[in-house]
Amino acid sequence: EAGVVQSPRYKIIEKKQPVAFWCNPISGHNTLYWYLQNLGQGPELLIRYENEEAVDDSQLPKDRFSAERLKGVDSTLKIQPAELGDSAVYLCASSGGIEDTQYFGPGTRLTVL
């Protein structure tokens, strides 16, 4: 069974540029999460989807971050414009239900110069 797929794995951009991350969850998983992980810290939830509905986006900085999950499968997380402080690893995870185990992708390491 294929795991959670994320792309790109690495991204280097200059500040004020836009960037987008893509996630394909495990087939059949209705719940999808985007996390941000800073060096030396645990993952911090940005947004959670149940199918195509964003049910928890309280931690998403909505002035520059946006996300979508069209058709309730793939998801895209966008930052526009990126700031130096956005340098981090962006993780996507999926689960079969909101109380189920989360399966993580490899993450996208973003560096903003």
Partner 1 sequence: AQSVSQHNHHVILSEAASLELGCNYSYGGTVNLFWYVQYPGQHLQLLLKYFSGDPLVKGIKGFEAEFIKSKFSFNLRKPSVQWSDTAEYFCAVPSGTYKYIFGTGTRLKVLA
Residue whose token pair is 């394909």: 24
Structure tokens belonging to residue 18: 């836009």
Q: Which residues contact 99 (CB under 8 A, 6 or more apart)?
A: none
CA distance 40 to 19: 23
Q: Which of 40, 70, 71, 85 binds partner 1 (CB under 8 A)?
A: 40
> Measured from the CB of residue 58, what is the shortest distance to partner 1 in angstroms?
9
Looking at residues 7 to 26 of the shown chain, list those that interact with partner 1 (rule: CB under 8 A): none
Residue closer to partner 1 (CB basis): 40 or 85: 40
Residue closer to partner 1 (CB basis): 84 or 98: 98
